[in-house]
């Protein structure tokens, strides 16, 4: 069971709200998916994720395949039972982590041959293998294996990567069909920063046919205006009645800009990773909690925030915990940042539903301290 329906199409922009129906519940879009790399969103419990407003989380196929491995997770019938999370999970294909983390990865038509970054063990990640792993993870939304690119990449590299990505996408579609896998399958548009290649990629991927479509290969080091240009070119050309997912993005500003272009789904380590580095998001921009000016500050991070952290703790206490590298620091910071991101998405959804997204955007930027 997987369905996507548009709830409200803004009349003044391409922004839209929708409902993704999955067997583990409905997801209101546009949505941000917290990253739960190793069957845990770092430092927080499933109950806390729900309290922060998480409707769906992302799991990393590469990491889960290496640790604890499919044979463990299969005993629990998937990641959900293993980690005590009963809402939907989207899993990536593993390709990006092989590309960015694994040792000595070697690309061929067959797939990625690589060595584990943990113990150097050798593995081969093919499109069929990626689908098989995601099946055993019992993922609700499965991503096709794609070829990732560094930035900047030559046109010829981008062209060859998109062609391989298309051939792999077909293999992923076939592997899912042959194995009668229930999770939805999303195709990924590549093409580097070249609009004509993006066009070619999306046409091929859409022709194969998927439950949803992702824009991959963004936020890989390119300047922000290029990222937004490519997204702005690509997103509106994706099928209107399927969910559109911009992978690995981004800052609060990025989310507002991309939702305005009609994107429905996002994921990024930013709220969680930055929390662990002491950076906390507020409507006025981010603050660094280790700053000495917070030493005696009895105010919460954001006086208007309703997260657990802001309801109970001062900046002085958070600074103290962070300076002492106390474990509770990472959790309290993460809870705040996740709440900020998820609440931002909810505000966007409300604004789009009321067709006041333009007003929301204006307010959003007006609040930010340059």
Euclidean distance between CA atoms 183 and 129, whole angstroms? 15
Helix-strand-coil split of the chain, %, nearest 5? 45, 20, 35
Binding flag, residue 39, a second copy (CB under 8 A): yes
Of 103, 167, 312, 362, which one interacts with a second copy (CB under 8 A)? Answer: 312
Q: Which of 234, 237, 276, 231 is nearest to 250 (CA)?
A: 231
- Token digits of residue 328: 């509770």
Residue 178 CA to residue 132 CA, distance in Å, equals: 11
Whole-number minimum distance, CB 134 to a second copy, in Å? 18
Q: Footprint of a second copy on residues 77-106 (CB under 8 A)?
A: 82-84
Q: Which of 50, 75, 122, 150 binds a second copy (CB under 8 A)?
A: 75
Out of 40, 91, 139, 165, the only residue in the binding site for a second copy (CB under 8 A) is: 40
Decide if residue 291 touches a second copy (CB under 8 A): no
Asked if 72 touches a second copy (CB under 8 A), the answer is yes
In DSSP terms, 213 is beta-bridged to 187, 244
Question: Is 38 one of the binding residues for a second copy (CB under 8 A)?
Answer: yes
∠ Cα 287 56 338 (to 5°) = 10
Q: Which of 140, 254, 264, 267 is catalytic?
A: 267
Name the residue nearer to a second copy (CB basis): 234 or 309.
309
Q: Is 320 in the site for a second copy (CB under 8 A)?
A: yes
302 is annotated as an active-site residue: no
Scan residues 45-64 and list those touching a second copy (CB under 8 A): 45-46
C-beta closer to a second copy: residue 2 or 76: 76
Going from the C-alpha of 228 to that of each of 36, 215, 218, 233, 370, the distances in angstroms are 26, 12, 9, 8, 20
Spatial CB neighbours of 130, under 8 Å, sequence gap ≥ 6: 61, 93, 94, 95, 111, 144, 145, 172
Q: For this structure, is 196 an active site residue?
A: no
Integer Cα distance of 341 and 155 in angstroms: 35
Provide the mask over 323-342, with x wherever binding to a second copy is found by CB under 8 A and - wherever it is not.
Answer: xx-xxx-xx-----------
Torsion of CA 114, 120, 121, 125, to 10 degrees: -20
Residues annotated as part of the active site? 92, 267
Residues near a second copy (CB under 8 A): 38-40, 42-46, 67-68, 71-72, 75-76, 82-84, 295-296, 298, 312-314, 316-317, 319-321, 323-324, 326-328, 330-331
């Amino acid at each position: 069971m997987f369905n996507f329906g548009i709830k409200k199409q803004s009349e003044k922009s391409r922004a839209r709200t929708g409902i993704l129906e999955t067997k583990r519940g409905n997801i209101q879009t546009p949505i941000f998916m917290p990253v739960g790399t190793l069957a845990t969103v770092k430092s927080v419990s499933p109950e806390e994720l729900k309290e922060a407003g998480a409707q769906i989380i992302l799991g990393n196929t590469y990491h889960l395949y290496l640790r604890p491995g499919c044979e463990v997770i299969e005993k629990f019938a998937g990641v959900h039972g293993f980690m005590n999370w009963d809402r939907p999970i989207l899993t990536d294909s593993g390709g990006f982590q092989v590309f960015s983390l694994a040792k000595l990865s070697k690309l061929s038509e067959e797939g990625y041959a690589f060595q584990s970054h943990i113990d150097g063990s050798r593995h081969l990640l093919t499109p069929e293998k990626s689908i098989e792993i995601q099946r055993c993870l019992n993922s609700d939304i499965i991503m096709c294996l794609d070829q990732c690119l560094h930035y900047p990449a030559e046109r010829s590299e981008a062209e060859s990567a998109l062609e391989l990505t298309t051939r792999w996408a077909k293999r992923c579609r076939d592997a899912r069909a042959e194995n009668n896998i229930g999770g939805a399958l999303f195709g990924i548009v590549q093409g580097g920063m070249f609009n004509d290649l993006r066009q070619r990629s999306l046409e091929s991927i859409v022709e194969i046919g998927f439950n949803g479509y992702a824009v991959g290969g963004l936020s890989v080091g390119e300047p922000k205006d290029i990222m937004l240009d490519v997204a702005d070119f690509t997103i509106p050309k994706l099928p209107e009645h399927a969910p559109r997912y911009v992978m690995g993005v981004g800052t609060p500003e990025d989310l507002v800009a991309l939702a305005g272009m009609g994107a429905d789904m996002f994921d990024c380590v930013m709220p969680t990773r930055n929390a662990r580095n002491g950076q906390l998001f507020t409507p006025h921009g981010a603050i660094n909690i280790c700053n000495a000016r917070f030493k005696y500050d009895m105010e919460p991070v954001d006086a208007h925030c309703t997260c657990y952290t802001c309801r109970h703790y001062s900046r002085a206490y958070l600074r103290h915990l962070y300076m002492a590298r106390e474990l509770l620091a990472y959790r309290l910071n993460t809870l705040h940042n996740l709440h900020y991101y998820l609440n931002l998405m909810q505000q966007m959804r409300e604004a789009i539903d009321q067709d006041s997204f333009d007003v929301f955007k204006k307010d959003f930027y007006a609040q930010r301290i340059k």
